[in-house]
């Protein structure tokens, strides 16, 4: 299997090594169906989910499409490494049939039988560990669900009706605008302060752990509105978000689905691509958009779909410059700079174990997610921004070990053996500069529609500013699909059915 | 607005009149982008959801596509009539973002803000009426949800775990095959007999009403497996099915979405169509499929996607004849022959009223679903097969009135004024011969994969044999999408990427 230069793994014997094997790596990195000097119908920048589905939609609809990707692999902030036959999901992981845009892709590419369950019950050690500072309590998963659900519900119930009326439709974009604007003024810290009298220290720790896992920053920076959106997407029930969004993943791994989408696009004969090609400049003049890479190559197209993440956009030169409101929106960035770390513990005991804990030693959650082929326990762990007091640097292996051990049951901490660590340091990755999008207070109200708006012949697609499952795989697919549609309808206005297209475009 | 000849309405002043206005009516009925004698890439038979999305997928991917439809309108077993500004959904109605295939279409065509809620709480008369034979009890919606959910859960809990493990994935097709085969031997009557000691008379009536509303036949004929599938799709929770599948509908109506899909396909310039054109014969010879209409016109294509409903397929001549197992499968048909009737009651009092009742006088449920523009209460009512003792003929207006009045609160029955009745007699409609698919015991095990299998260059798509939301709009979209994909991958095998297509095709 080919390796990507992305990610790293540590083992006791070999230490820390960069780069991981993945079927998402694309070799050779370049392929062209036409002379590169020709004007393509569309250039799609970025081969994450948004870019992949956009390129697929365009290529299958007969558009000559050039896909430019900075990395050496498919998937952007979602990809799986395969080590000794086990799939480690390095970024976006969980999918579900209640996420309609990604599920349609899973269904389309025949992966409907390919699900496995994270937090799989039934192992020898089947319980939850809550770590509240130096105190710790083990409990059943049933009690875990009751407490974690109850405190999340209390936190999200800002209208006394669990948002069941005011935020009834998780995907609607026109809904209780005054309430949304009011709630968007608050941070998670503000909301915690409102309900703190109703929380025991353990309650508060379990709630804070969940919030830090969601937003990956300090509680002052994490906007309340993003949490309320996730509550609504979780069907307004205490465990709905967990059941939908942290529950099932693809057995074959995200990179398998990327491959299928990519190869489908390739099979049309309309797709050219260039990987390992970071973009530096996008110039839109006289209805031709010229895209220049860092190494000075220039490609041209009638339209561009730019899927560069929010936290990277400021590194791109736009000519003419982006309008002032877009520049301001881009400056605010996503606050989510969480760490995601895979830790394999010797032996199968942690298959169904889960944990939350705060203030911890750099990680706020760890939970079992299947056994490796050698029957060791694979844990997925999350910790907030390394630049906050609660975070740790992924360069510091001893800090990672210490942080995960702190979350383990106290009577197991001395005996545990860490076999492997696997991670991708998204915060120090210049093509990500963070993880899934979480916006600061007021940013949604001020900037979401600004970020979504096209600029001339440049369309912007990303989970970072999607409606619905913003920050998730589903949002990336939704956003990429919408951008491809916008390009198609914009560029066929010479056909006799303009009115239909306008009607459709207006509906979008 | 143009009218379809489908459906009828009755009012006290005008009596019963056939045909209803709808934006789904297509005038003029014929349009061709190429000489009809030419061989099209694909002929799609049927302009319901399965056929519409298939035709759209093919036309947008550059395939010359001919859409043949027996009726004068789009939508097949889903369409809305518009009378005095109110949308009456004549067939398939409810959609939800937890139905991924249809929701992707809703999202794509910009209808994500277009939802309204059936069973809308908050009106003056906000309660539920349970009618058990001649006895009746009014209760709150909370109590309704508790009882209706509890009895459905009891009925569906055939494995002691609410199917949470054995039928974990609602869309998976390879799952607990031995258990599935075992459960598929049972009818709803069999299962009711197993749990009858645990049900009060009112419990049993509420449960039977739900089952009859699902399967639209006698309980002996309704296969248990279909109910268990719906339970799994309803997230294994007591009210999940109701919350997802009887809850939200499009404000603009199903026909609006049909229009958008149809006009999108049209806008490509690759779509020809002929409405009011029932098909009589499909002949597949020498890799050309000839389709002959009742009036003797013949069209040719390299492939055909046939979306003719299960209960109509036996009226079509296939040459060469369909294989024996397909013929046997078709003979078994769907048992669902329910009546769906809209009844407008004078005044707004029933906006949030709901009811279930059995044995009734022909209808087993009625519930408020918005007010008409004149502020009268619009009720949606269901009753089982008119040819069973529990059903009534839709030709019999007095029987309809008597059946709905029987479900109303006793103290209101004398005073109520029926302003309008609207319905489509699907069971006496030769292009439907029934409503949404519900299979008899053992039919799923024996025939589902047989019905799904292509035959030569003829592909079969319908909600009637879809995976997932079988019988629902979501299943129609899924099935139509899959058929279009199969045609595209079958027909591009001369391109250099055969292996990719084979891989994709095998994955599907």
- pLDDT, tens digit, 9 for 90 and up, residues A49-71: 999 999 999 999 999 999 999 99
| pLDDT single digits (tens) B170-226 | 999 989 999 999 999 999 999 999 999 999 999 999 999 999 999 999 999 999 999
Pairwise CB contact (< 8 Å): B107 & A492: no
**Tens of pLDDT along A428-462?**
999 999 999 999 999 999 999 999 999 999 999 99
Q: Which residue in B115, B168, B266 is closest to A497 by CB distance? A: B266
Q: List pLDDT tens digits, range A319-355.
A: 999 999 999 999 999 999 999 999 999 999 999 999 9
Cα separation, B16 vs B4, in Å, equals 15
Pairing between β-strand B418-423 and β-strand B3-11 as defined by DSSP bridges: antiparallel
**Among B417, B421, B441, residue whose Cα is nearest residue B380:** B421
Tokens of B159: 């494995």
Contact B97 A98 (CB under 8 A): yes
Looking at the predicted structure, is the pLDDT value of residue A362 above 70?
Answer: yes
How does pLDDT run across A95-128, given as a tens digit for each residue? 999 999 999 999 999 999 999 998 776 655 689 9
CATH among 3.40.50.300, 3.40.50.740, 3.50.50.60, 2.40.10.10 for B3-80+253-335+440-491: 3.50.50.60
- Signed CA dihedral, A51, A57, A60, A66: sign only: negative
pLDDT tens, residue by residue, B78-92: 999 999 999 999 999
Rounded to an integer, the average pLDDT of A141-151 is 95
Find the mean pLDDT for residues A205-209. 97
CB contact under 8 A, A263 and B497: yes
Digit-coded pLDDT (tens) for A227-254: 999 999 999 999 999 999 999 999 999 9
Domain ranges of chain A: 3-80+253-335+440-491, 140-246
Taking phi over 0 as left and psi of -120 to 50 as alpha, with beta for the rest, A439 belongs to beta
Cβ distance of B497 and A104 shorter than 8 Å: no
For residue A269, the chain B residue with the least C-alpha distance is B495
Whether the upstream peptide bond of residue B320 has omega within 30° of 0, thus cis, is yes
B111 has pLDDT over 80? yes
pLDDT of residue B500: 42
Higher pLDDT, A388 or B497: A388
Q: Do residue B501 and residue A172 have CB atoms under 8 angstroms apart? A: no
The answer on pLDDT for B474 being more than 70 is: yes
Q: Which residues of B fall in the annotated binding site for FAD?
A: 69-70, 279
Residue A422 is labelled as binding a ligand: no
Query: Environment class of residue B19 by beta-carbon count within 10 Å: exposed (0-12), middle (13-18) or buried (19+)?
Result: middle
Q: A285 Cβ partners below 8 Å, 6+ apart?
A: A319
Instruction: Give A94's pLDDT tier (boundaries 50, 70, 90).
Output: very high
**φ, ψ for residue A66 (rounded to 5)?**
-110, 125
Contact A97 B97 (CB under 8 A): no
- Asked if the model's pLDDT at residue B506 lies above 50, the reply is no
Listed residue (B425, B369, B373, B377) closest to B397, CA to CA: B425
- For chain B, the average pLDDT equals 94
Q: What is the pLDDT of residue A123?
A: 55
CB-CB neighbours of B172 under 10 Å: 17
Percent pLDDT > 90 in chain A is: 92
pLDDT surpasses 80 at B122: no
What is the Cβ-side half-sphere exposure of residue B412, based on CA atoms within 13 angstroms? Answer: 19
* Cross-chain residue pair B111–A507, CB shorter than 8 Å: yes
Would you state the structure tokens that stand for residue A201, as one six-digit string? 């220290």
User: Is A507 close to B266, i.e. CB distance below 8 A?
Assistant: no
Nearest to A500 among B113, B266, B481 (CB): B266
| Residue of A160, A219, A229, A215 lying closest to A192 (CA atoms) | A219
Residue with tokens 């960069």: A18
pLDDT given for residue B504 in this prediction: 46
Q: Please give the Cα distance from B291 to B420 (Å, whole number).
A: 41
CA angle B106, B112, B116 (to 5 degrees): 100
- Token pair, residue A148, equals 């974690």
Percent of chain A with pLDDT over 70: 95
- The DSSP element (H or E) to which B67 belongs, if any, is strand B65-68
Task: Give the span between the Cα atoms of A326 and B267, in whole angstroms.
Answer: 33
Q: Do B497 and A172 touch (CB under 8 A)?
A: no
Chain A residues whose CB is inside 8 A of the B168 CB are 117
CB contact set of B116 (below 8 Å; sequence gap of 6+): B248, B249, B250, B251, B370
Q: Looking at chain B, which residue has its C-alpha nearest residue A173?
A: B113
- Under the banding of pLDDT at 50, 70 and 90, the label for residue A505 is very low
What is the DSSP secondary-structure string of A303-348? EEEE---TTTGGGSEEESPPPHHHHHHHHH------EEEEEEESSS
pLDDT at A407: 97
What percent of chain B is modeled with pLDDT above 90? 92
The verdict on domain A140-246 having CATH code 3.90.105.10 is no
pLDDT digit string, tens, across residues A308-318: 999 999 999 99
CA-based end-to-end distance of chain A: 41
Mean pLDDT across A376-398: 95
B208, B200 contact by CB (below 8 A): no
- Interface size, chain A vs chain B, as Cβ–Cβ contacts under 8 Å: 140
Q: How confident is the model at residue A34 (pLDDT cuts 50, 70, 90)?
A: confident
Which residues of B are annotated binding-site positions? 69-70, 279, 382
Nearest to A189 by CA among A158, A212, A157: A212
Closest chain B C-alpha to A381 CA, distance in angstroms? 25
pLDDT per position as a tens digit, B141-174 = 999 999 999 999 999 999 999 999 999 999 999 8
Residue A489 known to bind ligand: no
Beta strands in B22-84, from DSSP E residues, in sequence order: 30-31, 39-45, 65-68, 80-83
Interface test with B, best of A106, A118, A234, A504 (most B CBs within 10 A): A504
In A, minimum Cα distance to B100 occurs at A100
pLDDT at B496: 34
> Which residues of chain B have a CB within 8 Å of the CB of A269?
495
Contacts of A175 in chain B (CB under 8 A): 113
Alpha-carbon gap: B459 to the closest alpha carbon of chain A (Å)? 16
Task: Please tell me if the domain spanning B3-80+253-335+440-491 has the same topology as the one spanning B140-246.
Answer: no
* Helix (H/G/I), strand (E/B), else coil: B259: helix
Of B61, B100, B108, the CB nearest to A107: B100
- Find, among A90, A144, A87, the residue nearest to A116 by Cα: A87
pLDDT at A503: 47
Cβ-defined contact of A109 to B170 (cutoff 8 Å):
no
Q: Is the peptide bond before B28 cis (omega within 30 degrees of 0)?
A: yes
Q: How many CB atoms lie within 10 A of CB B399?
A: 18
Q: What is the C-alpha separation between B272 and B35, in angstroms, rounded?
A: 10
The SS3 of residue A59 is: helix
* Residue partners of A146: CB distance under 8 A and separation at least 6: A238
From chain B, the residues in CB contact with A107 under 8 A are 100-101, 171, 468, 478, 481
Residue A85: how many other CB atoms lie within 10 Å: 8
Reply yes or no: is the peptide bond before residue B359 cis, omega within 30 of 0: yes
B237 has pLDDT over 70: yes
Nearest to A109 among B101, B492, B504 (CB): B504
Predicted confidence at residue A36, as pLDDT, reads 80
């Amino acid at each position: 299997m080919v390796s990507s230069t992305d990610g790293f793994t540590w083992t006791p014997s070999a230490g820390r090594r960069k780069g991981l094997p993945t079927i998402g790596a694309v070799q050779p990195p370049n392929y062209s169906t036409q002379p590169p000097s020709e004007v393509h119908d569309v250039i799609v920048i970025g081969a994450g989910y948004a870019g992949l589905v956009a390129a697929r939609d365009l290529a299958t609809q007969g558009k000559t499409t050039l896909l430019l990707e900075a990395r050496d692999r498919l998937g952007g902030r979602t990809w799986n490494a395969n080590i000794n036959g086990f799939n480690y999901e390095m970024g976006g992981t969980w999918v579900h049939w209640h996420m309609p845009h990604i599920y349609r892709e899973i269904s389309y590419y025949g992966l409907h039988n390919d699900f496995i369950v994270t937090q799989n019950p039934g192992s020898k050690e089947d319980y939850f560990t809550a770590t509240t500072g130096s105190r710790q309590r083990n409990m059943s998963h049933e009690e875990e669900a009751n407490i974690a659900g109850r405190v999340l519900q209390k936190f999200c119930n800002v209208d006394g009706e669990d948002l069941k009326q005011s935020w009834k439709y998780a995907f609607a974009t026109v809904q209780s605008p005054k309430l949304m604007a009011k709630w968007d003024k608050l941070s998670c810290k503000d909301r915690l302060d409102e309900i703190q009298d109703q929380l025991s220290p353990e309650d508060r720790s379990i709630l804070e752990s969940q919030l830090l896992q969601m937003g990956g920053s300090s509680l002052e920076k994490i906007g309340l509105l993003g949490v309320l959106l996730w509550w609504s997407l979780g069907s307004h029930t205490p465990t709905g978000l967990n059941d939908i969004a942290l529950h099932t993943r693809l057995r074959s791994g995200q990179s398998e689905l990327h491959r299928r989408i990519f190869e489908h696009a390739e099979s049309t004969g309309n797709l050219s691509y260039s990987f390992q090609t970071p973009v530096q400049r996008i110039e839109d003049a006289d209805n031709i958009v010229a895209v220049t890479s860092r190494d000075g190559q220039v490609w041209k197209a009638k339209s561009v779909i730019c899927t560069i993440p929010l936290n990277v956009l400021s590194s791109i030169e736009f000519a003419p410059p982006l309008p002032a409101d877009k520049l301001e929106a881009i400056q605010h960035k996503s606050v989510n700079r969480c760490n995601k770390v895979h830790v394999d513990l010797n032996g199968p005991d942690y298959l169904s174990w889960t944990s939350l804990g705060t203030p911890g030693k750099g990680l706020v959650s760890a939970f079992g997610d299947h056994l490796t082929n050698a029957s060791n326990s694979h844990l997925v762990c999350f910790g907030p921004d390394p630049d906050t007091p609660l975070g740790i640097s992924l360069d510091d292996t001893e800090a990672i070990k210490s942080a995960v051990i702190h979350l383990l049951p106290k009577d197991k901490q001395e005996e545990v053996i860490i076999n492997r660590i696997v991670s991708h340091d998204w915060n120090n990755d210049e093509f990500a500069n963070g993880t899934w999008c979480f916006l600061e207070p007021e940013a949604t109200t001020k900037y979401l529609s600004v970020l979504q708006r096209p600029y001339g012949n440049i369309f912007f697609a990303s989970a970072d500013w999607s409606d619905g499952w913003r920050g998730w795989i589903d949002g990336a697919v939704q956003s990429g699909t919408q951008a491809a549609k916008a390009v198609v309808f914009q560029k066929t206005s010479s056909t006799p059915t303009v009115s239909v297209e306008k009607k459709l475009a207006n509906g979008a």
